[in-house]
Amino acid sequence: MSGDFYIDNNSFMHRLDARTKMALAFLTVVAILMFEHPVWLMPITCLSLLQLYIAGAFRNLRRIRFILIMMSLSSMILWNFFSNGVTPLWWKFEVESFLFAVNRTLLIVLVISSGMVLISTTRNEELVLGLIKIGLPYRVGFALSTALRLLPTIGSSIITISQAQRSRGLDLHVKNPLERLRRFLPLLVPVFISTIRNTNTFAMALESKGFGARDKRSYYLKMEMKRADYLVLGFALVFVAVSIVLRLKGIGQIPGLTRF
Amino acid sequence: MSDAISAAPQARVVTMEPAVQITDLTYRYRGEKTEALKGISLSLNRGEFLVVMGPSGAGKSTLAAAMNGLIPNFFKGKIAGEVRIFGQKTTETTVARNSETVGIVFQDFEAQLFSTNLELEVTFGMENFGVDRDEMHARMEEVINYVGIAHLKGRAPSTLSGGQKQKLAIASVLAMKPRVVVMDEPTTDLDPISKMGVFEITRRLCEHHDTTLMMIEHETEEALYADKIALMQDGRLIRLGPTREVLRDVDLMRSVGVAPLGIPSFFKRMGEGDLPITVDEGVARFNELSWKVSAPAYQKLTENEAAARAGLGEVLIRCDGLDHTYDTGLKALDAVTCEVRRGDVLAILGQNGSGKTTLAKHFNGLLMPTGGEVLVDGKPTRDQGIFKIGQKIGYVFQNPDHQIFSETVFDEVAFSSRLRKLPEDEIKARVAQALASVGLTGMEKEDPFSLTKSGRQRVAVASVLASKPDVLILDEPTTGLDYSEQRGMMDLVQRLNKAGSTIIFVTHHMWVVAEYARSVIVMKEGRVILQGTPREVFSHGDRLHDAFLRPPHFVDFSNRLGHTFLTPEEMAGCIVRGMEA
């Protein structure tokens, strides 16, 4: 219903700098990609769980559990088919391909959770400011955050509009996909029109608040790398470095695995 | 108004220094045939408070947009004449730069808030001007205390009530320390007490801080605080004068299409001169003249009302201990018990977020109870479903743009009937009848989006009427319309009621309730706290106040005199002059 995942809290994860958190999410993905064997992913999994726990972000994962389960199931099936091994397990599957499927599934879940930690603990404004601090132009950053903000607004107008049309007798539960598409028209037109009207007022309000009045802009949010940020970053960098070394040594791979 | 907010309150300073000078301003929007503004000239001194009133289409919002250069920089068109703010021509610079001197607050508080928390919202404007962080923090603290939202720090704007949102919007403009503040109908969507909160802020701004204020307002009672009132019609400035003089000109206000105040209207009707304006003045004059309210005449009035209520038909909708808790855990309705009888005109009142709309959405099955029961025609809504109930109970949503989608008015109105697969002849007949009853006959081929707001509202009503419902629910049918459009809409509702429809409407407009409702439900925090005829409900001024409502000035005035009258006409018929008594 709501497209906003930010959890208003003040945990250790919340207090980290947005840049640290973005780097952390990126480094987590890099480290994950170094390993094929799911057992070697266990340290990262534990760290991810720890982050989720500190941030209190499990409830956001629960909100998207349907997507998570569907993706995990299809990943388990697909990777079993799309890889081969040497030790037979059952029917067409081998031990190696099974392990690899588990690895890929974990990869998906971990990537999603590290993204979730980021957006659960970082305000829209902080995220954009973080991007600006690492070189994104302000206007691009602002456009990005506006797009993110528009989603919940559109969501709530879809709910009102579908209620309005349902009380006029519109029934959206039809099997035929073409007919169904046609029935969505009474929803789509008002959604577009009201979104356009809203953005117009939004643009006016923006100009009237001096958007772009000066070349140089100041920021109320303080972005400051503190000791905790450097410690976390340092740890993550060491972790990734170790992972890369292990990878180069061929540790953490699955012998006998063929990937297509 | 630099440092104005922190300055100690001092005597009112209206200086002769011109803050706003508008000279012969004429403007035509691109693609329009007629001018939206025709030769407007007016000037405001520093510290003055002007209220601009007039019907929709008079050019009020265009004038507001001209104040910081949104016209002609944002809305393209043809402009002649000029607007100068402290000597600076608005067209010579950008809107963004003007905004340092001229702050604008818009009507739609949803669309003008865009940050994820209150502090960031307030500081956004200052960030654009490169104000340094410590200064931003100090100013932010100052303005949120000033408008009274300091206790909401850290909250996301989307979680605030309507009144709080509008106060936040005002704070975010004040933080930029503009010397001129323009407000375009800032209180239209607010309940009466939140309205007063906003007006209280504006009054303080003018009285103590020599901010120059221009406000567009529909409701006359709120204009009382102003120094001057400007009446506009068809792009022209019809009258500009001191507040009390303009408010006394009851006939001119009515002819322009602005609601005249009840108290001067009453005394004018009674043939008095030098009309009193406020409740206190009215009461004083009434006693001075030693008029009396005739007890038999008043009794007759209430007896007629009781007889009309007794004559209502069977119960159509009944709520029994109705609870509704949203997915978010918010309990929107708490043990609501009420009934709607055939032929009634029921008004549901309450503050923003009091559960009015949630209740109304239970009547046609849009929402299902999470506790208790709603019975329509004696059967629970849960067993019937919206598709079935929708044929008997029509629901007109607050914003007509949430339902209009067709290319022609005819298609729009025919939508429900076509969905229900009625024969084409029947559909034609129904559409014709529905359009006739909303006064849109002959508009079948028009594009509904090209109509005015009140026109679109009528199309929305017609499209619900076409399915011939027994009961018609209207969610805030008068919000966003001007006085004569509001009257037109409510007269239409009254005609439908006379023709046999049962009407339920949700509203903020107290005068609409006073003049059009037969029964009233007052809600507060999901509970029904008062029920009865408008007269009964409005006689409980204090309990209404608890629910963030208040009766119109005129009703207050009659309450102070010991009787509750709903309209000046009604009261005028019950007066015994001193000598006759």
- pLDDT (tens digit per residue) in B538-561: 999 888 988 888 899 999 999 999
Across the interface, whether the CB atoms of B387 and A198 are under 8 A apart is answered: no
In order of A133, A147, A211, B39, the CA distances from A142 in angstroms are 13, 9, 10, 39
Considering the domain architecture, whether residues B112 and B195 belong to the same structural domain is answered as: yes
Considering the domain architecture, whether residues B236 and B322 belong to the same structural domain is answered as: no
User: In the prediction, which pLDDT does A219 show?
Assistant: 87
Considering the domain architecture, whether residues B183 and B322 belong to the same structural domain is answered as: no
- Evaluate whether residue B114 is within a structural domain: yes
Considering the domain architecture, whether residues B233 and B319 belong to the same structural domain is answered as: no
Domain ends where: B511, B544, B571? B511
Query: Residue B464: its chain A contacts at CB < 8 A?
Result: 168
Interface test with B, best of A2, A5, A219, A220 (most B CBs within 10 A): A220
Across the interface, whether the CB atoms of A217 and B127 are under 8 A apart is answered: yes
- Evaluate whether residue B217 is within a structural domain: yes
Instruction: Please tell me the distance from the alpha carbon of residue B552 to that of residue B227, in angstroms, as a whole number.
Output: 22
Considering the domain architecture, whether residues B241 and B118 belong to the same structural domain is answered as: yes
Length of chain B, in residues: 581
Instruction: Please tell me the distance from the alpha carbon of residue B551 to that of residue A145, in angstroms, as a whole number.
Output: 43
User: In the prediction, which pLDDT does B4 show?
Assistant: 43
Domain ends where: B463, B487, B511? B511
Interface test with A, best of B405, B418, B427, B467 (most A CBs within 10 A): B405
Give me the mean pLDDT over the A115-126 stretch.
88
The pLDDT of residue A144 is above 90: no
Of the candidates B114, B129, B327, the beta carbon closest to that of A214 is on B129
* Domain count within chain B: 2
Across the interface, whether the CB atoms of B111 and A214 are under 8 A apart is answered: no
Percent of chain A with pLDDT over 90: 29
Query: Residue A127: its chain B contacts at CB < 8 A?
Result: none
Backbone angles phi, psi at B316, to 5 degrees: -95, -40
- Evaluate whether residue B1 is within a structural domain: no
Tokens representing residue A203 in the block: 């643009």
Across the interface, whether the CB atoms of B125 and A163 are under 8 A apart is answered: no
Tokens representing residue A251 in the block: 């540790």
Tokens representing residue A65 in the block: 């559990």
Range of the domain at B457: 314-511
Considering the domain architecture, whether residues B491 and B352 belong to the same structural domain is answered as: yes
- Evaluate whether residue B35 is within a structural domain: no
User: In the prediction, which pLDDT does A156 show?
Assistant: 78
Instruction: Please tell me the distance from the alpha carbon of residue A77 to that of residue A96, in angstroms, as a whole number.
Output: 14
Rounded to 10°, the helix A18-33/A124-133 angle is 80
Query: Residue B104: its chain A contacts at CB < 8 A?
Result: 205, 208
Instruction: Please tell me the distance from the alpha carbon of residue B532 to that of residue B521, in angstroms, as a whole number.
Output: 7
Shortest distance between the Cα of A235 and any Cα of chain B, in A, equals: 31
Give me the mean pLDDT over the A243-257 stretch.
87
User: In the prediction, which pLDDT does B578 show?
Assistant: 64
In order of B26, B52, B80, B450, B484, the CA distances from B35 in angstroms are 7, 18, 11, 18, 22
Residues 6+ apart with CB under 8 A from A87: A94, A95, A96, A256
Instruction: Please tell me the distance from the alpha carbon of residue B521 to that of residue B481, in angstroms, as a whole number.
Output: 23
Considering the domain architecture, whether residues B57 and B202 belong to the same structural domain is answered as: yes
- Evaluate whether residue B275 is within a structural domain: no
Interface test with B, best of A167, A174, A189, A207 (most B CBs within 10 A): A167
Of the candidates A6, A125, A210, the beta carbon closest to that of B96 is on A210
Specify whether the CB–CB gap between B90 and B107 falls below 8 A: no
Instruction: Please tell me the distance from the alpha carbon of residue A106 to that of residue B328, in angstroms, as a whole number.
Output: 31
Which runs of E-coded beta strand occur in B178-235? 180-184, 212-216, 228-233
- What's the start-to-end Cα distance of chain A, in Å? 39
Peptide bond into B72 cis (omega under 30): yes
Percent of chain B with pLDDT over 70: 97
Residues 6+ apart with CB under 8 A from A35: A41, A103, A243, A246, A247, A252, A253
Considering the domain architecture, whether residues B340 and B209 belong to the same structural domain is answered as: no
Domain ends where: B260, B288, B304? B260
Interface test with A, best of B61, B183, B403, B413 (most A CBs within 10 A): B403
Across the interface, whether the CB atoms of A8 and B156 are under 8 A apart is answered: yes
Residues 6+ apart with CB under 8 A from A117: A13, A21, A24, A25, A48, A51, A52, A55, A57
B303 near A CB under 8 A: no
ipTM above threshold 0.85: no
Query: Residue A147: its chain B contacts at CB < 8 A?
Result: none
Across the interface, whether the CB atoms of A209 and B176 are under 8 A apart is answered: yes
- Evaluate whether residue B181 is within a structural domain: yes
Of the candidates B100, B327, B366, the beta carbon closest to that of A210 is on B100
Considering the domain architecture, whether residues B246 and B340 belong to the same structural domain is answered as: no
CATH of residue B453's domain is: 3.40.50.300
Query: Residue A207: its chain B contacts at CB < 8 A?
Result: 70, 74, 94-96, 99
Find, in chain A, the residue whose alpha carbon is nearest to that of B136: A220
- Evaluate whether residue B291 is within a structural domain: no
Q: How confident is the model at residue A97 (pLDDT cuts 50, 70, 90)?
A: confident
Query: Residue B120: its chain A contacts at CB < 8 A?
Result: 123, 125, 220-221
DSSP B253: H
In order of A167, A169, A219, B338, B463, the CA distances from B366 in angstroms are 7, 11, 45, 18, 18
How many residue pairs from chains A and B have C-beta atoms closer than 8 A? 170
User: In the prediction, which pLDDT does B7 show?
Assistant: 41
Cβ atoms within 10 A of the Cβ of A82, count?
14
**Which regions in chain B score pLDDT beneath 50?**
1-11, 581
Specify whether the CB–CB gap between B483 and B513 falls below 8 A: no
Find, in chain A, the residue whose alpha carbon is nearest to that of B111: A202
- Evaluate whether residue B363 is within a structural domain: yes
Find, in chain A, the residue whose alpha carbon is nearest to that of B107: A201
Cβ atoms within 10 A of the Cβ of B139, count?
22
B399 near A CB under 8 A: yes
Interface test with B, best of A138, A208, A214 (most B CBs within 10 A): A208
Considering the domain architecture, whether residues B319 and B249 belong to the same structural domain is answered as: no
User: In the prediction, which pLDDT does B8 show?
Assistant: 40
User: In the prediction, which pLDDT does A3 show?
Assistant: 54
Name which of B376, B374, B309, B378 is nearest B345 in CA terms: B309
Shortest distance between the Cα of B501 and any Cα of chain A, in A, equals: 17
User: In the prediction, which pLDDT does A25 show?
Assistant: 92
Long-range contact set of residues B136-145: C-beta below 8 Å, sequence gap at least 24: B136/A218, B136/A220, B136/B175, B137/A220, B139/B175, B139/B177, B140/A220, B140/B175, B142/B5, B142/B6, B143/B5, B143/B171, B143/B172, B143/B174, B143/B175, B144/B118, B144/B171
Considering the domain architecture, whether residues B388 and B464 belong to the same structural domain is answered as: yes
B290 near A CB under 8 A: no
Considering the domain architecture, whether residues B242 and B335 belong to the same structural domain is answered as: no
Specify whether the CB–CB gap between B159 and A196 falls below 8 A: no
Of the candidates B96, B108, B173, the beta carbon closest to that of A207 is on B96
Specify whether the CB–CB gap between B402 and A157 falls below 8 A: yes
